[in-house]
Structure 1
Amino acid sequence: MTTGANGSDDLDAVSRDLERRGQEYAVATVVWRQAPSSGQIGSRAIITGDGQLHGWIGGACAEPTVIREAQRVIRSGEAQLFFLGASEELMLPDGVTSIPMSCQSEGALQIYIEPMLPPVRLIVIGHSPMARHLTELATVLGWRAELIAGADFSSAEVDRQSVVVVATQGHGDEDVLRDAVSAMPAYVGMVASRKRADAVLGYLADRGVPAHLLERVHAPIGLDLGSTTHSEIAVSILAELVQLRAAGELAGELTEEPASEQATAPATDGRIELPVLQPTTALDPVCGMTVPADDAHYPHEHAGTTYHFCCVGCRDAFADDPERFLAGATQSCGGAD
């Protein structure tokens, strides 16, 4: 989905709104162009994880590619420099990812795409000195950390990007953990011994909490630092969370639940949602571009198969002689880059 194609979006306002909602996004900036590309040096766009584009980065050829690569950058968490165009006659510097494009204008772009990841939202449930220390230490790192008493906690406090540490330590562990896992946060950890954690998980399993939810619980948590004091235990837990974040394991990606458990899982408080399916893509058989396989990308049916195209020019060329392109021929597309 694209918005603000006329460049009228206030990108600062868009970024503030995304950050306020804790959503990750990427910023794409044109750093070089080869005329007659419609993208200009300094042109910027914001791309969200679900593929919405705000601002202006280029025309119909460049835009779908930028959206696709921005989504990959968001998932990886690493900025990248991309070259979009015909690179056969150019010497590209190391570290540049070349993406061949055959737009009719024959322009080219170099685009720097940088991920903008929101700070970790840490929810610590409990009231012990260790829970307080953990919350304070996470705040020093710039994380959005909050401490909630077990009696005051509900699954409504949690979203898909949250990192939840259950530190109730014997005070209503079962109810708190059940509510926490039902919200499907990015991470759920429990401060408990292995024996205590097994007892709590077994209790919840016996009462119908689905296995795919209980399998998400990490327990015990914290790196083995030989910790003894409340502060040291808090450091060990935060160290493990930092390690997991660096490995990309706190991203909160949605995964599909096992089919058998989807059918038998008991009703909860409504927090378990259906998995979000990523939009499918298709290869334009005329110019070779990858485009979303949706109604906005010029669907055309031939011999029982629906093909999608980057522009009406490619669709019409295919409709005139489909066997030519199905045999592997390509041509420049009729769109603008």
Structure 2
Amino acid sequence: MTRADMLSRVDGLRAGRTPFVLATVVRAERPTSAKPGDCALVLPDGTIDGFVGGACAETTVRLESLRLLQAGESGLLRITPRADDPDEPAQEGVRTVGNPCLSGGTLEIFLEAMIPPALVYVHGEAPVARALARVGHALDWDVRPTVDANAPIRSDASAVVVASHGRDEATVLAAALKAGVHYVALVASRRRSAGVRDELSALGVPPEEVDRIHAPAGLDIGARTAPEIALTVFAEIVANRPRLEVPDPATATDASGATGQLHSHSPMDTLEVAVDPVCGMEVAMTSASISAQHADGSVHYFCGTGCRQAFLDDPQRFRT
């Protein structure tokens, strides 16, 4: 993949709101096959487009990239053929992985998680709706104003805010609830909000779903003007967004390698991690990873083709 192809692919992923990790080699010790400047894209399904080293290095890049993608963070990955030194102090922002199968020297790769901005639909064209668009854009969020009550709502939407002054309120709110949007809100007075809740109940929306609606929308801080009301709505979205607790991969005991809630915009399932039965390396359990099926039907994952072949040559040697 040429640099131009890489940039074109990045533009396409961003346009499609697909999260990905841009992995760039920043340092390489001989005799590694990768060189500084080599880069690759790591997608949520574990697919890697580009080059950042051989199969063993690629396997580590895949796993650590998926961990960072779920956390919505970036970091520096150091891959070394030497085993971890327990006396070596940990460095903040650096994840060091000892890969005994690595044929070359140490690689340092910057993993930059590219997460789409929070997507917010604003229904209506009243002053508050226009203010919501301005404030959202100032936050660098993906704010999409609409007046079409039947406009589709993406599955990765973070919020739907109705500020239409009585037009199609129940219709849009019901659609947002059905779509599973985390934050659904109505900009209205308390009296109007109660009326819309009753209307939704009459439409058959379950009470627990009606209770999810933030109405009146926004934190109660005494806002009066349209921009002030918009500010309170975004403050409430931030206050209510899902929180993610990401464990240290070096100390995590959960087999998945990650716990807690995913970001609402992430399409990824919980990351599953296997252990290479030959060398003991952790491997992401994805369709893009190197794997083999044993005669008994069990599937095993490997850091590279060498370990896979060693297992296939004598499976019983590596099965416990």
TM-score range, shorter chain: 0.7 to 0.9
- 1:177 paired residue number: 173
Structure 2 gaps, min length 5: 245-261
Structure 1 gaps, min length 5: 255-275, 328-337
1:282 aligns with 2:277: no
Q: State the one-letter code of the partner of 2:264.
A: A
2:128 to 127, 130, 152: 130
1:61 aligns with 2:56: yes
2:184 to 178, 184, 188: 188
2:307 to 306, 311, 314: 314
C-alpha change, 1:12 and 1:284, in structure 2 (3 Å) is same
Q: Deviations over 1:162-188 (max 9, x none)?
A: 532122343332111112233334543
C-alpha change, 1:230 and 1:295, in structure 2 (3 Å) is closer
Q: How big is the shift at 1:143? A: 2.8
1:299 aligns with 2:292: yes
Aligned mates of 2:113, 2:289 — CA distance in 1: 27
Quote the RMSD (CA, aligned, Å). Answer: 3.3
Q: State the one-letter code of the partner of 2:125.
A: H
- 1:252 paired residue number: 265
Aligned mates of 1:295, 1:223 — CA distance in 2: 45
Q: Higher mean Cα deviation, 309-318 or 74-83?
A: 309-318
Aligned mates of 1:241, 1:235 — CA distance in 2: 10
Aligned mates of 1:252, 1:298 — CA distance in 2: 29
- 2:217 paired residue number: 221
Q: Deviations over 1:290-311 (max 9, x none)?
A: 1436596341315563323334
Aligned 1:47-86 pairs, distance under 5 A: 47-85=42-80, 86=82
Alignment coverage as a number of residue pairs: 299
- Decide whether the 8 Å contact of 1:291 with 1:310 is kept in 2: no
- Decide whether the 8 Å contact of 2:24 with 2:40 is kept in 1: yes
Query: Secondary structure of the equivalent of 1:156?
Result: coil
- 2:145 paired residue number: 147
- Decide whether the 8 Å contact of 2:23 with 2:109 is kept in 1: yes
Aligned mates of 1:65, 1:209 — CA distance in 2: 47
Aligned mates of 2:275, 2:90 — CA distance in 1: 28
- Decide whether the 8 Å contact of 1:187 with 1:250 is kept in 2: no
TM-score (norm 2): 0.78
Q: How big is the shift at 1:285? A: 0.2
- 2:23 paired residue number: 28
Aligned mates of 2:152, 2:105 — CA distance in 1: 50
- 1:261 paired residue number: none
- Decide whether the 8 Å contact of 2:183 with 2:237 is kept in 1: no
- Decide whether the 8 Å contact of 1:155 with 1:182 is kept in 2: no
Query: Secondary structure of the equivalent of 2:62?
Result: helix
Q: Deviations over 1:135-172 (max 9, x none)?
A: 122223333323222xx222425442353212234333
Aligned mates of 2:61, 2:22 — CA distance in 1: 10
2:226 to 230, 233, 236: 230
- 1:18 paired residue number: 13
C-alpha change, 1:307 and 1:211, in structure 2 (3 Å) is farther
- Decide whether the 8 Å contact of 1:300 with 1:315 is kept in 2: no
Query: Secondary structure of the equivalent of 2:113?
Result: strand
Q: How big is the shift at 1:239? A: 2.5
Aligned mates of 1:73, 1:131 — CA distance in 2: 35
2:156 to 156, 160, 179: 160
Give the % identical residues.
34
Q: State the one-letter code of the partner of 1:301.
A: H
